[in-house]
Amino acid sequence: MIKKLKFLTQVAIILSVGIYFWQRLGSGLRPFGTVLTDLQRMLITERNLTYDQKMLSLRPDEYFLAQQIIKYTPPDAVIYFPPPEYVDPGLSIISYFIYPRIPIFLDSQKLLTTRGKNGELGNYILLYNDFPDFPVSASSLFLFDSTIPQTFENITIGLPDPRFSGKKGIIRL
């Protein structure tokens, strides 16, 4: 009886090893094709891509936005970001790209008196997903999305405004 059980267990092991390899082979062949394509891309066709180009393909939304913010703000800028209901939570990683600029993510009260970690007040606001939706007196506004950079000076912004609705930009307070 014990011998039979031992034999059955050994058969079970051999079967499980067989199933394992079958399963790995089945799930491994398709990725192997992908790996070959990736290797060709990384070693031949796209080997000379810059960091910017790679990041724009890996994190297109966040990295493009970060590049624009960097372009239009000085390194010591403190920027108010929209409350969570306006932004994808993943947008918080933009802090990494725009450092040393400091983002302050507003809460639902949207108070422009909100201070950063070290007590700093914001001097910029991110125009994003129809935010800010309250009147803001801006010394300037730079729109990101247009092919020709658009700048507005001394303007009061309060969405909805057909000129800015659905656009992204940075507002200097």
Partner 1 sequence: MILLGLFITLSIGWLFLDAINLDAKLFEKLGLSFIISSGIQTLFFFAIAEQSNNAAPRLYWITSAVLLVGLFLLKKYIRGSGPNSRFKSAESQSPLNLLGQLALIGVVALFMIISVYSIYTPVYVTDALALYDFRAKVMFLTGTLNSMHEVNNWMSYPPFTSLVHLFIRFLGSDNPHIFYTLMYLSFALVFYAHLNKYTTRTVSAIGTFAMYSSPIVLWQSRQPLTNLPYAIFLCSSIMYLLWAFSNRKVNLPPLLISALCLGLTSWVRITDPFWLVPFFVTSLLLFIRKEFLLMAIFIFISSSIRNVWLDHVARYSIIDIVRSSQSVISNIVSTPSSPASPIANPIAEPDPLLSRLSNPAVTAFAFFWPYFMDAVKPTILVFAPFIFIESFWFKNKSQIILLSMISLLFLSLWAGTVFASQTFFYWKELGNAVSRLSGLFVPLMWFYVFRSPFWKQFKLLQ
Binding residues for partner 1, rule: CB under 8 A, are: 5-6, 9-10, 12-13, 16-17, 19-20, 23-24, 27, 35, 38-39, 42-43, 47, 51, 54-55, 58-59, 88-90, 92-93, 95-97, 99-100, 117-118
Shortest spacing between CB 119 and partner 1, in angstroms: 13
Write out 87-139 in H/E/C secondary structure: CCHHHHHHHHHHCCCEEEECCCCCCCCCECCCCCECCEEEEECCECCCCEEEE
Residue with tokens 């201070």: 115
Nearer to partner 1 by Cβ, of 105 and 152: the residue is 105
Q: What is the spatial distance between Cα 21 and Cα 28, in angstroms, rounded to a whole number? A: 10
CA angle 21, 25, 27 (to 5 degrees): 120
Q: What is the spatial distance between Cα 120 and Cα 31, in angstroms, rounded to a whole number? A: 49
Nearer to partner 1 by Cβ, of 47 and 135: the residue is 47
Nearer to partner 1 by Cβ, of 11 and 111: the residue is 11
Shortest spacing between CB 157 and partner 1, in angstroms: 28
Shortest spacing between CB 107 and partner 1, in angstroms: 14
DSSP secondary structure, 43-79, as one string: IIITTT--HHHHHHHHSHHHHHHHHHHHHHS-TT-EE
Could you tell me if 105 and 116 are in contact, meaning their C-beta atoms sit under 8 angstroms apart?
no
Shortest spacing between CB 72 and partner 1, in angstroms: 21
Nearer to partner 1 by Cβ, of 6 and 115: the residue is 6
Shortest spacing between CB 76 and partner 1, in angstroms: 13
Nearer to partner 1 by Cβ, of 18 and 158: the residue is 18
